[in-house]
Amino acid sequence: MDNEKMISATTGSAVLAEAAALATPGEAPENGDTPAAASSTGKLILRDIRREPRVRVYITKANQQMAAIGYTEHGHRHAGIVATISRSILVALGHGERVAELAAIAGYLHDIGCMVNRQGHVEAGGIIAFHILSSLGMEPVEIADIVAAIGNHEEPHGLPISPLAAAVIIADKSDVHFSRVQNPDTAGYDIHDKVNGAVRRSYLRVEPENKVIRLELEIDTEAASIMEYFEIFTTRMALCRKSAKELGCMFRLSINGRDL
C-alpha cells in the first residue's frame, strides 16, 4: 500500500470535507468586493482562487444554469473534488509541487465557463480564467498552462497536451456518482442522470510502480446497466487512456470488482 495511492473521487470523507470547505461562503473575504491576494510565497495557490469573489459567484451561477437545463452538478462540490484529485494524481506520480498546485487551480476552474453556456464552455472558461488570473497577478506562463488545461478537458476535441491537462481530464471524468444528480424527478432522468445515479462509489487508484491509473466504480446494476455506462462514457474513457499515457501510465477501468 505504501507504493500506491488511493484517491476517492466522491465518497472519501477527507475529499468530501475539503470539497465542502471549498464551497463554504464563510471563507470568502469579509469585503465581498476585495479580490484575493497572492499567498506569502508570492505565487497564487488554490486557497487564493477559491476565496476570490468572482470565482465563487461564477461557479455558483454555472451550476445554477446546469441545473436549469437538467445537467448533473457542476458547482463547488465538483470543482473541489476535481481540484483535489488533479493535485493528488501529480503528487502520486512524483511531479513538482508547483505543477500540482497549478493542476488544482485548473481543476477548480475547469467548468467555470458553464455560466455562459454548456456549449463552448471550455473556450469560455479559458477566457474567464485568463482574465481572473491576470488581474490577480499570476505569471503569464502559469496562466497559459492553466488556460490550456481548461480548454482541453472536454471530449471530443480536448487533448492531454501536458501532464497538468492530463491530470485535470482524469480527475474530471472520475467524478461520476449519484450525488451529482440534480434532477429531483426520477421519471424524467436522462441517460446521464440514470448512470450517475447508479454509481454508489467511485475511486481513483494511482499505482506509480505499476504505472497504472485505475478508476474503480461500484454500480447498482438494477438502476443502470454496465452497458448503459459505456453508452455515454466510451469517449470519456478513451480520453482518460490518452491522458494516462501522457502521464506515463496505463488507464484501467474496474466496475463492481471486474477489470474491463
Task: Give residue-wise pLDDT tens across range 204-224.
Answer: 999 999 999 999 999 998 888
Closest CA to 36 of 55, 20, 59, 62: 55
Which residue carries 502559469 as its cell? Answer: 142
Partner residues linked to 253 by β-bridges? 215
Task: Give residue-wise pLDDT tens across range 19-74.
Answer: 444 444 334 333 333 444 455 567 999 999 999 999 999 999 999 999 998 888 99
Residue 209, all three cell numbers: 510502480
The tally of domains found in the chain comes to 1
Specify whether the CB–CB gap between 121 and 111 falls below 8 A.
Answer: yes
pTM: 0.85
21 contacts: CB under 8 Å, gap ≥ 6? 27, 80
In this prediction, residue 185 carries a pLDDT of: 74
- For residues 158 and 247, give the distance between their C-alpha atoms in angstroms, rounded to a whole number: 16
Q: Which domain holds residue 215?
A: 5-259
Residue 199, all three cell numbers: 454509481
Our CA angle for 148, 131, 116, nearest 5°, is: 80
Specify whether the CB–CB gap between 54 and 128 falls below 8 A.
Answer: no
Residue 226, all three cell numbers: 454496465
In the predicted structure, residue 184 carries a pLDDT above the cut 60: yes
Mean pLDDT of 187-192: 77
Task: Give residue-wise pLDDT tens across range 153-172.
Answer: 998 889 999 999 999 999 99
Residue 120: pLDDT band by 50, 70, 90 thresholds? very high
